[in-house]
């Protein structure tokens, strides 16, 4: 096996740690076992593709940016907003990605650096759709947690709603606020809402 493919294999094992990395901000809302970063990123990528389609952007590119947006948390963990207040400085995701791809084949390393850079720079409509998707996924998760009895999740719902920027993201946020968490099941079963 070549050293550069061993670096890719190492990264894939590292990325798997996000399946066990909890989104820590939810602990402040009383959620004992919150979603993981991987679960958040997966749904964020779906939302990004939908917003991009609505905005006339490239859905695949938006989803790609969204699914990669938190990969640096393999190195930093999920530091919530309060925790960031007490750290000496937030690590630049571009720097983390550079460390993660060190030793990989140049084409792969360059592609990963470009993905992370595009998301962080926010210079494209796809990146803006991915960022909105990140906020909408948090809002959606908050709505689900609130429906499970975690009333303090309302803070996350409100904060996330206020950070959505695209017209399509705002329209989707409104729809989420007015849809029950089990309306999809009632519709699938032909029941009346």
List, as one string, the DSSP characters of 170-181.
HHHHHHHHTS-T
Q: What integer pLDDT is reported at residue 89 of this predicted model?
A: 65
Q: What is the mean pLDDT of residues 164-173?
A: 98
Task: List the CATH number of the domain containing 15.
Answer: 1.10.3210.10
pLDDT digits (tens, 9 = 90+) for 14-44: 999 999 999 999 999 999 999 999 999 999 9
Rounded Cα–Cα distance for residues 188 and 62 (Å): 28
Q: Which residues are within 8 A (CB) of 190 and not within 5 positions of it... i.e. 6 or more apart?
A: none
- DSSP character at residue 191: -
Q: Please state the domain count of the chain.
A: 1
Q: Give the percent of the chain with pLDDT over 90.
A: 89
Flag whether pLDDT at 13 surpasses 70.
yes
Report helix, strand or coil for 22: strand
Cα-to-chain-centroid distance, residue 136 = 9
User: What are the tokens at 169?
Assistant: 């993201």
Q: Report the mean per-residue pLDDT for the chain.
A: 95
Q: Which domain holds residue 173?
A: 3-189
Q: What is the pLDDT of residues 36-66, one digit of tens each?
A: 999 999 999 999 999 999 999 999 999 999 9
Give the whole-angstrom CA distance, residue 48 versus residue 17: 23
Asked if 182 and 144 touch (Cβ cutoff 8 Å), the reply is no
Of 119, 21, 20, 34, give the one whose Cα is nearest residue 68. 119
Residue 87 is classified by DSSP as S
Residues of the chain with pLDDT > 70, as a percent, come to: 99
Place of tokens 């998760």: 141
116-150 tens-digit pLDDT: 999 999 999 999 999 999 999 999 999 999 999 99
């Amino acid at each position: 096996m070549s050293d550069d493919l061993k670096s890719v294999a190492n990264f894939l094992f590292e990325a798997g740690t996000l399946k066990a990395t909890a989104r820590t901000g939810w602990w402040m809302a009383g959620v004992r076992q919150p979603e993981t970063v991987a679960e958040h990123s997966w749904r964020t990528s779906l939302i990004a593709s939908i917003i991009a389609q609505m905005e006339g952007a490239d859905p695949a590119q938006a989803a790609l940016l969204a699914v990669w947006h938190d990969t640096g948390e393999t190195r930093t963990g999920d530091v919530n907003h309060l925790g960031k207040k007490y750290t000496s400085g937030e690590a630049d995701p571009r720097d983390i990605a550079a460390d993660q791809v060190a030793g990989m084949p140049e084409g792969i390393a360059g592609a990963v650096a470009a993905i992370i850079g595009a998301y962080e720079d926010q210079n494209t409509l796809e990146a803006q759709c991915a960022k909105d998707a990140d906020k909408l996924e948090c809002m959606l998760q908050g709505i689900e947690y609130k429906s499970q009895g975690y009333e303090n999740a309302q803070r996350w719902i409100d904060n996330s709603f206020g950070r959505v920027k695209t017209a399509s993201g705002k329209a989707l946020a409104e729809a989420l606020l007015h849809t029950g968490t089990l309306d999809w099941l009632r519709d699938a079963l032909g029941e009346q809402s």
